[in-house]
A and B are shown apart, each in its own frame.
Chain A
Amino acid sequence: MNNSNHSIAREAIWIIPGILIAAIIWLVFFRPTPVIPPELTQATLLPEGRAIQPFQLSTGSGEAFTLENLKGHWSFLFFGYTHCPDICPTTLQDLAASIKIMASTPSSTMIPQVVFISVDPERDNGQQLSDYVQYFNNDFIGVTGSENELLALSRQLGIIYARVEEKSSEDYLVDHSAALLLFDPEGHFRAVFGAPHKADNIAHDLPLIQAWYGLVND
């Protein structure tokens, strides 16, 4: 009796150091590091992400483009129109340049799909829209839809656009939100890049957002 009491006491001595060692091992190797959102140059992160309602648009080559097309990869959405000679080509040029930077930097950056959504379906459609976006990068996708189809997507993203009549009706301009919207591979709205855009800023922020997203969803 005395003997076994003694041995229990001897074993008990190891309980506290054992817990301490286990705690240290856990602290060093297994503790989930608190995931702090990254410091970004241009983008504003939506830490919770935002699921969006299904939508239906179509590409220049006539294929359907829906919420499903935003899943499985990162995507940038940009709303504009091809009659816009300054801001739209500049933004698409910046996106193409940022992709070149990211592709040439050795890192695990996932190159995003770029989707140019024309809010001027009256003048932009079919092959012309595809040719326009592919001038900047062969992988860029041009999509559009009817007035209602466009609104179904733009409204839930806070994108606005409005036709501005000119002297001649053919020459109308379209005011449109200048932001780039980033979607994660779940198809959730994940960050906004406000204008003015810079290729360097995009190439800086996107890998940080992807790394952060990877940690959060581990």
Chain B
Amino acid sequence: MIKYLLPLLALHLGFQSIVLADALPDTDNGLIISNVWVREAPPGAAMLAAYLTIENQSDKGRELEFVVSKYFSHVMMHKSEVIDGVAKMLHQDKLSIPAHGKLELKPGGFHLMMPAPEKALEAGDTVYFRLYFANGESLPVKAIVKRAGIP
């Protein structure tokens, strides 16, 4: 009997740990990160942009202080803004995500800017970032490289 039960138990535990691992980042701190993508760069483009959405379901506001990635020499937080008809990129020291609020990084607004790596990234590639918050939390995120305009 035990012979049959053990594999089942192992299977059960295995599934449980997978479920937990998936659920942890969301339930633990109340942050849900979605729609993470890097815009595939045209050939010869030296700079890349990445976008993501952070939803804060918790009762405490967060501040995104900086982002790092081993795929890029550095990651900057920017905001594109058109002021009196002139497009500017403004450095952001931190990005706020209010309690029960949402921060969207999307084309034409907030975005991450990174120097393009030597080996060009292509649509379908995957890269990782780690987001660091002012309260000491940090979260890994996976980003897919996508060609903009193609859903």
A interface residues with partner B (beta carbon < 8 Å): 80, 82-87, 89-90, 93, 96-97, 123, 127-129, 131-133, 135-136, 160, 164, 171, 173, 175-179, 194-196
In Å, the complex CA distance between A89 and B45 comes to 10
User: When chains A and B are docked, how far (Å) is the Cα of A173 from the Cα of B46?
Assistant: 12
Q: Is the CB of B86 within 8 A of A90?
A: no
Do the beta carbons of B108 and A85 come within 8 Å of each other? no
For residue A195, which residues in chain B have a CB less than 8 angstroms away from its CB? 82, 85, 87
Q: Cβ of B111 and Cβ of A85 under 8 Å apart? A: yes
Partner of A82, one of B45, B85, B89: B45
Set of chain B residues within 8 Å of A164, measured between Cβ atoms:
88
Known: A93-B149, A96-B149. A135 touches B42 (CB 8 A): yes
A89, B148: Cβ atoms closer than 8 Å: yes
On chain A, the residues within 8 Å of B115 by CB distance are 171
Residue of A nearest to B109 (CB): A86
Q: List, sorted by A's number, 20 A–B pairs whose CB atoms are closer than 8 Å.
A: A82-B45, A83-B46, A85-B41, A85-B49, A85-B111, A86-B78, A86-B113, A87-B87, A89-B41, A89-B45, A90-B107, A128-B44, A131-B42, A131-B43, A135-B42, A164-B88, A173-B89, A175-B88, A178-B87, A195-B87
Other-chain residue from A84, A97, A196 in contact with B149 (beta carbon distance below 8 A): A97
CB pair B86–A175 under 8 Å, yes or no, is yes
What are the residues of chain A within 8 A of B39 when measuring CB–CB? 85-86, 89
Known: A85-B113, A86-B111, A87-B80. A177 touches B86 (CB 8 A): yes
Number of interface residues of B (CB under 8 A): 25
Docked Cα-Cα span, A32 to B115, in Å, equals: 58
- Residue in chain A with minimal CB distance to B49: A85
Flag if B42 contacts A175 (CB, 8 Å): no
Closest to A199 in B: B149
- C-alpha gap A123/B116 in the complex (Å): 15
Give A194 to B46 CA distance when docked, in angstroms: 26
Whether, in the assembled complex, B32 has its beta carbon less than 8 Å from a beta carbon of chain A, the answer is no
Chain B 42-65 interface 0/1 with A at a Cβ cutoff of 8 Å (1 = within): 111111110000000000000000
B43: which A residues are within 8 A, CB to CB? 128, 131-132, 135
Q: How far is the CA of A131 from the CA of B45 in the complex (A)?
A: 9
In the complex, chain B residues whose CB is within 8 Å of the CB of A132: 42-45
Q: A131-B43, A196-B108 are in contact. Are A85 and B86 (CB under 8 A)?
A: no
A178 in contact with B111 given A82-B46, A132-B44 (CB within 8 Å): no
A82 and B115 alpha carbons, distance in the complex (Å):
12
Q: Which of B1-54 contact A (CB under 8 A)?
A: 39, 41-49
A83 close to B82 (CB less than 8 A): no
